[in-house]
């Protein structure tokens, strides 16, 4: 049965066709039993409980620290209405009797779990968000009748939920108790934010040399406000597109020449990714994403688009490299479920592992995409932050000769990581597909780069001598920090995943967790946060299928702080039971 | 002959291929004509004059003067960490000083008659993003917002394209100066209900685009009563609030709420931006001010997709907190806009053309219905085309604003010099003379 496609942009929420059973049971079971790779029929005991154990994966780059009370009664209504349909015997005797019993049991368990945590499991292959796609009319039944509060959309309801994920809790704790060498030496050291603070001094120097410390890069003494104040093309000034294309060419090794006309500028890579998601997929469609992946993808690709992410698990025994076989399996399973896969989303260099995709893998990926006639989104935002000997290869590079497949490849870039300017909100969509470019350009009206910022960035990026020196020095500094950190961990007997890039490493602490599962991982995370006083990102937040891995960013530290961090880790792991 | 097997092209989404972006409408067609043949005083004196773009260029000198005198506003700050902190700042709460500055500025515009709490200010890259974001939050796909006509043509795209939300128009007409009535609101609501569409809110623009007039206090109170009785939201786009010709006539919904002690205020949200009042559309500075905590939290998180550059926030924060500057700017800007408005009204009147009595905005609402062959949309478009190709003026036809009375046009006057405006008025005068001559000779 073909998946119900939503009508253009004016439609009811997408119907979930993950379990091909009676419509009513379908609705309830998809609400409470997130699909797994082999979805069990609802009248077996399946174990839905584990699905609700894990923390939410609503990771944003910017945590919000305002707690809000949940309203558990809302879920009650959502169950009762469809249950009536069952009870009215539409499902037949077997379904009509067995299922309500099973459901009442699971309903109680669900309510209990749902109150305290957000139901998302990293091990499900299809993210089923009960909040996002549920027919909003059920939520309305409640909001209308009982409280009389004014309604907010289903999309808003899910986003407004309190942040109970370790990612946010950690960032909040750092904010409350930040480490400071002088004033707060026992504070929490931040290793959970993928920011690069190593080379900002170089940019500061450049600013004082070239602009005398001014923010406004006008040139001359004429502060021509008119030039930057008025309406500009929403997809960016041509000068910035030219400068950015040149910068990308430089950063990615000069093996491919980026064309300014294929550059679309957006207010940050977050916006770029969302715009691409809107362009390439309809509500209810899906992207395959290798795990572990950047927690922000769940927000960027899904929140407002209604698109889903299907994790494709990679394992440490393979150095977390992607297997085409696994991609293929995931694709086929999605197809069997009636879920339309529109593309593959990769990050290269990858977040959180920090490894690079090989040239061979990129070619294989392209073959895979061609055979299935789907897109590839390659998030290459860390392309310039390599520190190893491995060469970074952009998707753009392998396309030079493969003209016919250019239409399916889209690259994301930005200045937040390589150039340390996350606050300026400068992101890039680079596509070879004219139609995608045309649609994206129009969508940038919702996410444009501020013109004074564009002007400033143009002058910085146009100074190619500066950018080359900057990239070279920056890489050296990242390498120094990386080597120091990895070596320090190694002295504790802790290994990290092989990585040649990025601002962090993916560390294996699985020996120290007990039990060997997500619960154990979170317990260790908690100890690291509250006893060792360091904030790191647990692998479960990145949908990693193996428990015990943690992403540790070291580019927010200085060299002196590394031994301190290692020492703190040592104290904690020494007290941990070694499992297995 | 070989038959070519067409390779399947990789598909795009419905959003990507839909035409809800509306760029094929006359509103944008006129812009294209202008782009191809733009007026220039020296180089192209017979080119198309752009009167379809609501941009404020009358007060740039004030901004330039300020920036020249206050170099500390354009520096990263004396602290060594000024640039560094700013470059790393990507918190979706926005810079505290910037939010305070926006709240203060909004208070000043309203003559202190309403208070704004900086913690309720959510930043977005422009009012376009703010309106879309609110729509995502307040309505589900398939739901509707009620919008009084005539309305800003961009709403069709901004509020509907990606959100999947519908617009149901609330019909207003010239019989009562296009004022919004409770009957019209009720009729629109019922129309939506009859189509099984859930109405989630009313969106008003105050001062109105394209009317160029403020909404009366009594009307605002009626609208508030209406949304309260239906338990729906009210979005008040007050983007032109600083562009009123006098300080007293504009009443913000914030003032009405304050007068009733913020009862039922959780359904009200205000959109603001610096694109019109300050003439800084390129800066992409928009805000949502909501009286609803959940909306504030959600909007803040969603604003991750549309944050204002930290550099821009820093730059504007000190400028907007300088009350001497802002008081003078607001006052001078108002005077200049009023002068422009008077100039165009007088010029049009001399040509025998009347406009709706306006008191705000960067445009006037011109009545050319007496010139129509027939009182239809088609006649209006024919007239619009002759204005574009014969008179060489790009003005916005009322039909693109969903106006139910044909023959009305929005004419912008603040995006050009006084000389250019004079040229435009002369062209209109000549055009009207020619028509009179044609009529008498027939």
Which residues in chain B touch residue A408, judged by CB atoms under 8 angstroms apart?
10
Q: Supply the angle between the helices B377-389 and B26-36 in degrees, to the nearest 10.
A: 10
Structure tokens at A312: 């494709």
- Identity of the residue in B13, B136, B310 whose CB atom sits nearest the CB atom of A424: B310
pLDDT for position A578: 52
pLDDT score at B439: 81
B14 part of contact set with chain A, CB < 8 Å: yes
Beta carbons of B50 and B40 less than 8 angstroms apart: no
Nearest in space to A447 (alpha carbons), one of B305, B130, B311: B305
Q: Which residues of A touch B71 (CB under 8 A)?
A: 214
Confidence band for B74, pLDDT divided at 50, 70 and 90:
confident
- Residue A63 — very low, low, confident or very high, per pLDDT cuts 50/70/90? very low
Mean pLDDT of the residues in chain A: 79
Tokens representing B257 are 């709420």
Quick count: other Cβ atoms within 10 Å of Cβ B411? 25
Judged by a CB distance cut-off of 8 A, whether residue B128 touches chain A is yes
Structure tokens at B96: 């505290």
Residue closest to A99 by CA, chosen among A84, A119, A120, A77: A84
Res A269 pLDDT > 70: yes
**Min Cα separation B143/chain A (Å):** 9
**Cα B275 to Cα B279: distance, rounded to the nearest angstrom:** 5
**pLDDT confidence of residue A122:** 34
ipTM of the complex: 0.94
Scan residues 283-302 of B and list those with Cβ closer than 8 Å to A.
Answer: 283-285, 292-295, 297-298, 300-302
Of A154-168, A199-213, B197-211, the poorest mean pLDDT is in A154-168
Residue B300 with chain A: CB contacts under 8 Å = 64
So what's the pLDDT on residue A399?
87
The answer to whether the CB of B291 falls within 8 A of the CB of B268 is yes
pLDDT attached to residue A160: 75
Q: Which pLDDT score is estimated for A217? A: 77
Backbone φ, ψ for residue A308 (5° rounding): -110, 160
- Predicted confidence at residue A99, as pLDDT, reads 60
What pLDDT, on the 0 to 100 scale, is given for residue B28? 76
Residue A67: is its pLDDT beyond 60? Answer: no
CB A192 within 8 A of CB A295: no
Find the catalytic residue in B137, B158, B272, B276: B276
Between the CA of residue A209 and those of A77, A204, A212, B26, B93, what are the distances in Å? Answer: 64, 9, 6, 49, 32
Q: Say which of B143, B156, B158, B237 is annotated catalytic.
A: B237
Burial A468-488 (b: 16+ CB within 10 A, else e): eebbeebbebbeebbebbbeb
| Range in A31-45, A320-334, A371-385, B97-111 with the lowest mean pLDDT | A31-45
Q: Does pLDDT of B103 surpass 70?
A: yes
Chain B 313-342, residues with CB within 8 Å of chain A CB atoms = 314-315
Whether A406 and B10 have beta carbons less than 8 Å apart is answered as: no
Determine, for residues B15 and A279 on separate chains, whether the beta-carbon distance falls below 8 Å.
yes
Question: Which of A143-152, A288-297, B1-10 bottoms out in mean pLDDT, i.e. has the lowest?
Answer: A143-152
A contact test, residue of B69, B83, B141, B417 with most A CBs within 10 A: B141
User: What confidence tens digit (pLDDT) does each residue in A91-143 have?
Assistant: 455 555 566 566 665 665 555 555 444 333 333 222 222 333 333 333 333 32
Residue of A199, A209, A222, A229 best to disrupt the B interface, most CBs of B under 10 A: A229
Given a cut of 70, is residue B365 above it in pLDDT? yes
Chain B residue with the nearest C-alpha to that of A374: B10
Give the Cβ contact number of residue A225 at 10 Å.
23
Share of chain A above pLDDT 70, in %: 72
CA-nearest of A463, A413, A379, A407 to A266 is A413
Give the model's pLDDT for residue B67.
87
> Are A61 and B200 within 8 A, CB to CB?
no
Q: Residue B26 pLDDT > 80, yes or no?
A: no
Give the per-residue pLDDT at A94.
55
Q: B320-329 — which CB contacts under 8 Å span 24+ positions?
A: B320/B98, B320/B101, B320/B102, B320/B104, B320/B105, B321/B97, B321/B100, B321/B101, B321/B104, B322/B66, B322/B70, B323/B104, B323/B108, B325/B66, B326/B104, B326/B105, B326/B108, B327/B108, B328/B62, B329/B59, B329/B62, B329/B63, B329/B66, B329/B278
Chain A hits for B86, CB-CB cut-off 8 Å, are 423
Mind listing the pLDDT tens digit for each residue in A336-357?
Answer: 999 999 999 999 999 999 999 9
Comparing CB atoms, the residue among B55, B132, B297 nearest residue A66 is B297
Backbone angles phi, psi at A364, to 5 degrees: -60, -40
pLDDT at A19 over 80: no
* CB-based contact A282 B13, cutoff 8 Å: yes
How open is the CA angle A193-A197-A200, to the nearest 5 degrees? 150
User: Is A13–B140 a contact, with Cβ atoms under 8 angstroms apart?
Assistant: yes
Residues of chain A found within 8 Å of residue B141, distances taken between Cβ atoms: 6, 9-13, 283
Please report the DSSP string for A120-136 in residue order.
--TT-SS---HHHHS-H
Give the mean model confidence (pLDDT) for residues B321-343: 96
The catalytic residue positions of A are: 294, 379, 381, 417
Task: Assess contact for B363 and B415: CB atoms under 8 A.
Answer: no
Torsion sign over Cα B296, B297, B303, B305: negative
How near does any CA of chain A get to the CA of B12, in Å?
Answer: 5
Tally Cβ neighbours within 10 Å of residue A209: 11
Q: For residue A152, name the pLDDT band (cuts at 50, 70, 90).
A: confident
Phi and psi for A119 in degrees, rounded to 5? -80, 95
Q: Which residues of B touch A450 (CB under 8 A)?
A: 125, 282-285, 308-309, 311-312
Q: What is the 3-state secondary structure (H, E, C) of B284-322?
A: CCEEEEECCHHHHHHHHHHHHHCCCCHHHHHHHHHHHHC
Q: Which residue of B has its CA nearest to A206?
A: B83
Q: Considering chain B, what percentage of its residues have pLDDT values greater than 90?
A: 85
Nearest CB among A215, A425, A442 relative to B307 is that of A425
Among A155-159, A197-201, A503-507, B345-349, the range scoring the smallest mean pLDDT is A155-159
Closest CA relative to residue A412, chosen from A525, A175, A244, A292? A244
Is residue A385 within 8 Å of A418, Cβ to Cβ? yes
Res. B82 pLDDT band, cuts 50 70 90: confident
**Model pLDDT, residue A266:** 98
Asked if A150's CB is within 8 angstroms of B292's CB, the reply is yes
How far apart CA B63 and CA B279 sit, in angstroms, is 9
C-beta atoms of B63 and A229 within 8 A? yes
Whole-angstrom distance, CA of residue B264 vs CA of residue A43? 47
In angstroms, what separates the C-alpha of A184 from chain B's closest C-alpha? 19
* pLDDT above 50 (res A431): yes
What count of residues does chain A have? 580
Place of tokens 């994301």: A412
**Closest by Cβ to A62, choosing from B138, B160, B304:** B304
B354 has which bridge partners?
Answer: B367
For B319-342, what is the mean pLDDT?
Answer: 96
Q: How confident is the model at residue B5 (pLDDT cuts 50, 70, 90)?
A: low
Partner A, chain B 147-166, Cβ-Cβ below 8 Å: 158, 160-164, 166
pLDDT, tens digit, 9 for 90 and up, residues A554-566: 999 999 999 999 9
- Closest in A150, A155, A203 to B233, CB measured: A150
- The shortest CB-CB distance from B21 to any of A215, A305, A442 is to A442
Judging contacts by C-beta atoms under 8 Å, the chain B residues touching residue A153 are 136-140, 143, 200
Tell which B residues from 64 to 83 touch A, by Cβ distance under 8 Å.
64, 67-68, 71, 74-76, 80, 83
What tens digit of pLDDT does each residue of A75-92 get?
Answer: 444 444 444 444 444 445
- Chain B residues in contact with A270 (beta carbon < 8 A): 304-305
Q: In terms of Cα–Cα distance, which of A326, A389, A400, A332 is closest to A363?
A: A400
Q: Are B265 and B257 in contact (CB under 8 A)?
A: yes
Which residues, at least 6 apart from B67, have a Cβ–Cβ distance to it below 8 Å?
A: A216, A223, A225, B73, B74, B319
Provide, as residue numbers in chain B, all residues whose Cβ is less than 8 Å from the Cβ of A60. Answer: 92, 301, 304
Q: How large is the average pLDDT for residues A536-551?
A: 96
Say if B304 is an interface residue toward chain A (CB within 8 Å). Answer: yes
Return the structure tokens found at B278: 């300050």
Taking alpha carbons only, the member of A131, A155, A153, A164 closest to residue A63 is A164
Judging contacts by C-beta atoms under 8 Å, the chain B residues touching residue A373 are: 8, 10-11
The distance of B101 to chain A (nearest Cα, Å) reads 18
Report d(CA A484, CA A348) in Å as an integer: 24
Active site residue B237: yes
Q: Which residues of A touch B7 (CB under 8 A)?
A: 404
The structure's pTM equals 0.84
Whether the upstream peptide bond of residue A292 has omega within 30° of 0, thus cis, is yes
Which phi and psi (to 5°) does residue B366 adopt? -95, 140
Catalytic one among B123, B239, B270, B330? Answer: B239
Burial of residue A163 (number of CB atoms within 10 Å: 0-12, 13-18, 19+)? buried
Closest approach of A53 to chain B, Cα-based (Å): 24
| B interface test, pick of A131, A160, A427 with most B CB neighbours within 10 Å | A160
> Which residue of chain A has the CA closest to B68?
A223
Distance CA A119, CA A112 (A): 11
User: For residue A53, what are its two tokens?
Assistant: 């154990």
Whether chain A has a CB inside 8 Å of the CB on B10: the answer is yes
Mean of all residue pLDDT scores within chain B: 93
Known catalytic membership, residue B239:
yes
Q: What is the pLDDT of residue B32?
A: 87
Q: Determine the straight-line distance between the first and last CA of chain B, rounded to whole angstroms.
A: 63
Residue A86, both tokens: 């069952």
Q: Assess whether the previous peptide bond of A320 is cis (omega < 30° from 0).
A: no
B236 and B267 Cβ atoms separated by less than 8 Å = no
């Amino acid at each position: 049965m073909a998946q119900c496609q939503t009508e253009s942009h004016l439609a009811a929420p997408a119907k979930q066709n993950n379990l091909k059973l009676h419509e009513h049971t379908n609705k309830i079971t998809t609400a409470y039993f997130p699909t797994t790779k082999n979805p069990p029929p609802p009248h077996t005991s399946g174990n839905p409980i584990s699905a609700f154990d894990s923390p939410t994966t609503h990771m944003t780059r910017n945590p919000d620290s305002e707690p809000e009370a949940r309203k558990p009664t809302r879920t009650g209504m959502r169950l009762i209405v469809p249950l009536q349909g069952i009870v009215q015997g539409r499902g037949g005797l077997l379904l009509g009797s067995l299922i309500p019993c099973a459901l009442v049991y699971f309903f109680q368990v669900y309510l209990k779990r749902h109150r305290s945590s957000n139901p998302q499991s990293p091990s499900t292959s299809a993210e089923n968000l009960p909040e996002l796609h549920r027919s909003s009319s059920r939520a309305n039944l409640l909001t209308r009748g009982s409280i009389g509060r004014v309604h907010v959309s289903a999309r808003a309801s899910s986003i407004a939920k309190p942040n109970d994920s370790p990612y946010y809790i950690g960032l909040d704790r750092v904010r409350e108790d930040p480490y400071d060498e002088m004033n707060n030496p026992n504070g929490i050291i931040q290793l959970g934010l993928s920011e690069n603070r190593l080379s900002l001094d170089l940019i500061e120097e450049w600013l004082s040399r070239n602009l005398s410390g001014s923010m406004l890069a006008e040139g001359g003494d004429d502060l021509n406000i008119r030039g930057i104040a008025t309406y500009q093309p929403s997809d960016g000034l041509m000068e910035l597109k030219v400068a950015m294309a040149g910068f990308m060419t430089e950063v990615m090794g000069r093996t491919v020449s980026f064309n300014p006309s294929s550059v679309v500028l957006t207010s940050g890579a977050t916006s770029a990714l969302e715009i691409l998601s809107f362009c390439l997929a309809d509500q209810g469609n899906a992207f395959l994403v290798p795990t572990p992946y950047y927690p922000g993808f769940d927000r960027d690709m899904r929140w407002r688009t209604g698109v889903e992410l299907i994790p494709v698990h990679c394992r440490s025994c393979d150095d977390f490299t992607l297997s085409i076989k696994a991609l293929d399996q995931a694709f086929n399973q999605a197809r069997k479920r009636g879920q339309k896969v529109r593309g593959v989303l990769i990050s290269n260099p990858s977040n959180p592992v920090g490894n690079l995709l090989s040239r061979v893998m990129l070619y294989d990926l392209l073959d895979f995409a061609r055979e299935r006639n789907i897109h590839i989104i390659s998030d290459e935002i860390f392309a310039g932050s390599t520190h190893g000997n491995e060469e970074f290869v952009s998707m753009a590079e392998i396309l030079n000769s493969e003209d016919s497949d250019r239409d399916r490849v889209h690259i994301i870039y930005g200045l937040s990581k390589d150039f340390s300017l996350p606050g300026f909100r400068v992101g890039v969509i680079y596509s070879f597909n004219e139609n995608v470019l045309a649609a994206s350009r129009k969508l940038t009206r919702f996410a444009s780069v501020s013109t004074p910022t564009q002007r400033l960035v143009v002058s910085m990026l146009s100074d190619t001598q500066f950018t080359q020196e900057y990239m070279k020095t920056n890489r050296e500094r990242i390498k120094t920090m990386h080597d120091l950190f990895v070596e320090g961990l190694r002295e504790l007997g802790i290994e990290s995943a092989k990585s040649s890039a990025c601002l962090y490493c993916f560390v294996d602490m699985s020996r120290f967790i007990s039990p060997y599962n997500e619960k154990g991982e979170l317990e260790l995370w908690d100890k690291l946060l509250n006893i060792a006083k360091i904030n790191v990102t647990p692998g479960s937040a990145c949908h990693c299928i193996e428990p015990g891995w943690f992403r540790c960013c070291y580019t927010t530290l200085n060299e002196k702080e590394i031994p301190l961090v290692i020492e703190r880790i040592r104290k904690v792991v020494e007290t941990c039971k070694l499992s297995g | 002959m070989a038959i070519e097997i067409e390779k399947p092209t990789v598909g795009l989404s419905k959003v990507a291929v839909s035409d809800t972006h509306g760029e094929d409408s006359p509103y944008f067609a006129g812009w294209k004509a202008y782009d191809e043949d733009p007026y220039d005083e020296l180089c192209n004196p017979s080119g198309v004059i752009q009167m379809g773009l609501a941009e404020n260029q009358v007060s740039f000198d004030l901004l330039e003067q300020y920036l020249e005198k206050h170099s500390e506003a354009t520096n990263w700050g004396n602290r060594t960490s000024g640039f560094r902190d700013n470059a790393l700042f990507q918190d979706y709460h926005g810079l505290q000083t910037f939010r305070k500055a926006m709240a203060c500025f909004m208070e000043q515009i309203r003559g202190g008659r309403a208070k704004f709490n900086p913690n309720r200010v959510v930043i977005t890259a422009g009012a376009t993003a703010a309106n879309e974001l609110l729509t995502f939050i307040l309505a589900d796909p398939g739901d509707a917002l009620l919008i009084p006509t005539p309305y800003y043509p961009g709403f069709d795209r901004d509020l509907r394209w990606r959100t999947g939300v519908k617009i149901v128009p609330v019909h207003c007409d010239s019989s009562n100066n296009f004022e919004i009535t409770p009957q019209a609101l009720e009729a629109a609501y019922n129309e939506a209900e009859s189509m099984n569409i859930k109405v989630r809110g009313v969106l008003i623009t105050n001062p109105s685009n394209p009317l160029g007039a403020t909404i009366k206090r009594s009307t605002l109170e009626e609208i508030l009563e209406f949304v309260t009785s239906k338990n729906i939201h009210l979005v008040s786009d007050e983007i032109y609030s600083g562009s009123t010709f006098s300080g007293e006539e504009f009443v913000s919904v914030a003032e009405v709420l304050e007068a009733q002690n913020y009862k039922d205020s959780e359904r009200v949200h205000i959109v603001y931006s610096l694109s019109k009042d300050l003439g800084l559309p390129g800066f992409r500075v928009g805000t949502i001010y909501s009286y609803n905590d959940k909306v504030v939290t959600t909007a803040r998180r969603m604003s991750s997709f549309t944050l204002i550059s930290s550099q821009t926030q820093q730059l504007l924060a000190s400028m907007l907190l300088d009350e001497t500057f802002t008081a003078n700017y607001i006052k001078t800007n108002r005077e200049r806009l009023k002068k422009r408005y008077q100039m165009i009204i007088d010029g049009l009147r001399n040509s025998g053309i009347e406009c709706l009595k306006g008191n705000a905005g960067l445009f006037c609402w011109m009545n050319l219905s007496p010139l129509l062959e027939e009182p239809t949309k088609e006649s209006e478009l024919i007239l619009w085309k002759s204005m574009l190709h014969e008179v060489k003026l790009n003005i916005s036809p009322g039909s693109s604003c969903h106006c139910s009375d044909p023959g009305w046009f929005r004419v912008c006057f603040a995006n050009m010099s006084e000389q250019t405006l004079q040229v435009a008025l002369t062209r209109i005068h000549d055009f009207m003379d020619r028509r009179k001559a044609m009529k008498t000779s027939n």
